Structure 1
């Protein structure tokens, strides 16, 4: 595995995928296009629609039902009927694009489509990514299930995976804790001497494996591993993020150091750089909580710009930063 961590300003983005229950079922209602969720409505996929007030069912191909607009309605927009209006592509197809960054953190969202702000279009039972919900009358409805994950494929991503060899394989997938071990989502690209993929991952420690033509195997090139519940091993990768510590003022100081749990409270390392506003230092940090202090001309001090503080096990008060 080749793991490359590029300098990034970390932005929480989320990837969208469908849970595939059986090969004969089809995932519809949305797809992923780069960093966008593309909601897709095709009139030919529906036979009947339900009137929101009368609950009467009517054929979507009824000549009296003229489609003026189609909207995406779900938990992510409080089931609004007139907010996410779709763009008509042709006689049958509509779509609506939304950045994955606009969604909340790693949830499973239910949604469906509404026609003319009155008629609900529900997916059929043989669609893979559906869930059941009940309306205010207690009637069971079928809705699409949109799953949000904290990883997505990107050529500019912060973590690259490489599998050497296996030139005769037809398909190689990477699956892990970053996508709930989805067996279809992240298909690797075939290159001259193996397989390759770059993902954008949030800071953290992840387990993963390769799936080569249906056969699971850990990354033999990566010595970091963890035993799983099957008595085998998963490969491990740790993703860090750049974090900049800033100390405003103290321009007359001769030397300012950064010390914390990330450098074992070193008193002679991480010398900060002088700037127009004061001092700064940028380092790669793992996900989670880090305690720190500044050492200004040999005097220890808390971060005056950070109100978050806590005691350590020795009873000292330290400033705290969180990396997510």
Structure 2
């Protein structure tokens, strides 16, 4: 019998996976990047770029700073807040990291000593100087559009290929990096869960160095090598609310996201005076209206409105 290899990709809200690791040093919560320093994660420090190290236990921590490509490796600017004796935290808006897909960074102790990670995590890379020379130390790596997470909203799964040594998912969400997002072995295949910023992306799988499209995903586009990239649209869950109209029999949500269907998205009435409907929407601009007992109305609590080109005015919702 011919064995069939297939790949599936599943969009999730929050299903716990045992095969994805949270990247060291940062997480993305909503519209913020949260840098977190745990002293227990680091055993040694380096004083300069020579690679000479000292034991962390020989130093008293007075302050911790985040330094990286995003702030020109400043030893002073991004000072962290002390949470307890072993933990420091700093929050920065995700908008500060627009324009790039990944950034290298490190934690600096007492504005002088660089905390040295060990090369065991997928987001740890060899540090280089401006001339490309290796510095004999490691940097942490942050991805602004996607990162491994146990609670990620996208799960990549590859069935088969049990004899492969290494399977990676790469795409436009990480600038086609074919090393960082390694998948984990599961029964009869491979898996990795990522938290990906809403938007439209292209991706491929790399099996022991060989690039391939997702044969189970019919949505694909031709690339510059006359091969195909699989395409993925990551949505964000949005809740639409209409206040009042408690005597209405039916309230329907209709918009550009469902071809203005007048029956599909029937809203539910709550006890606190609202009608609501929750659904995932891709990144971008969406026009919508409410239909109250057959009458089309604009969203009275949303002042953002536009003409649709056909003489109609619609409420507008942006998914970022």
Listed as ranges, the gaps of 5+ residues in structure 1 are: 9-14, 18-30, 50-58, 90-94, 133-143
- What is the CA–CA distance in structure 1 between the aligned matches of 2:305 and 2:74, rounded to whole Å? 37
SS of 2:218's equivalent in the other structure is coil
Does the 8 A contact of 2:284 with 2:319 survive in 1? yes
Counterpart pick for 2:223 among 225, 228, 239: 228
The equivalent of 1:278 in structure 2 is 274
Superposed, 1:1-324 pairs within 5 Å as 1-7=7-13, 31-32=24-25, 37=35, 45-47=46-48, 69=62, 71-74=64-67, 80=76, 83-84=79-80, 98=89, 102-105=92-95, 106-107=97-98, 116-117=110-111, 119=112, 128-129=126-127, 147-276=142-271, 277-324=273-320
Q: CA deviation at 1:122?
A: 11
User: For the aligned residues, what is the CA RMSD?
Assistant: 3.9
SS of 1:306's equivalent in the other structure is coil
- What is the CA–CA distance in structure 2 between the aligned matches of 1:272 and 1:88, rounded to whole Å? 46
- What is the CA–CA distance in structure 2 between the aligned matches of 1:42 and 1:197, rounded to whole Å? 29
Q: CA deviation at 1:268?
A: 3.2
Q: 1:268 to 1:207 in 2, by over 3 A?
A: same
Does the 8 A contact of 2:45 with 2:115 survive in 1? no
The equivalent of 2:136 in structure 1 is none
SS of 1:170's equivalent in the other structure is coil
Q: CA deviation at 1:131?
A: 6.3
Q: 1:34 to 1:204 in 2, by over 3 A?
A: closer
The equivalent of 2:121 in structure 1 is none
Does the 8 A contact of 1:16 with 1:146 survive in 2? no
- What is the CA–CA distance in structure 2 between the aligned matches of 1:302 and 1:267, rounded to whole Å? 14
Q: 1:262 to 1:66 in 2, by over 3 A?
A: closer
| Bigger radius of gyration | 1
Q: 1:266 to 1:172 in 2, by over 3 A?
A: same
TM-score (norm 2): 0.70
Count of aligned pairs: 273
Per mean C-alpha deviation after superposition, the further-off stretch among 193-202 and 36-45 is 36-45
- What is the CA–CA distance in structure 1 between the aligned matches of 2:300 and 2:165, rounded to whole Å? 57
Does the 8 A contact of 1:71 with 1:81 survive in 2? no
Deviations 1:54-103 (CA, angstroms, capped at 9, x unpaired): xxxxx998xxx9866352244569864693278999xxxxx86547x745
- What is the CA–CA distance in structure 2 between the aligned matches of 1:85 and 1:238, rounded to whole Å? 36
Deviations 1:143-168 (CA, angstroms, capped at 9, x unpaired): x7854322122233222211121111
TM-score (norm 1): 0.69
- What is the CA–CA distance in structure 2 between the aligned matches of 1:43 and 1:86, rounded to whole Å? 20
Listed as ranges, the gaps of 5+ residues in structure 2 are: 1-6, 15-20, 29-33, 117-124, 131-138
Q: 1:69 to 1:226 in 2, by over 3 A?
A: same
- What is the CA–CA distance in structure 1 between the aligned matches of 2:235 and 2:315, rounded to whole Å? 20
Q: 1:172 to 1:295 in 2, by over 3 A?
A: same
- What is the CA–CA distance in structure 1 between the aligned matches of 2:309 and 2:162, rounded to whole Å? 53
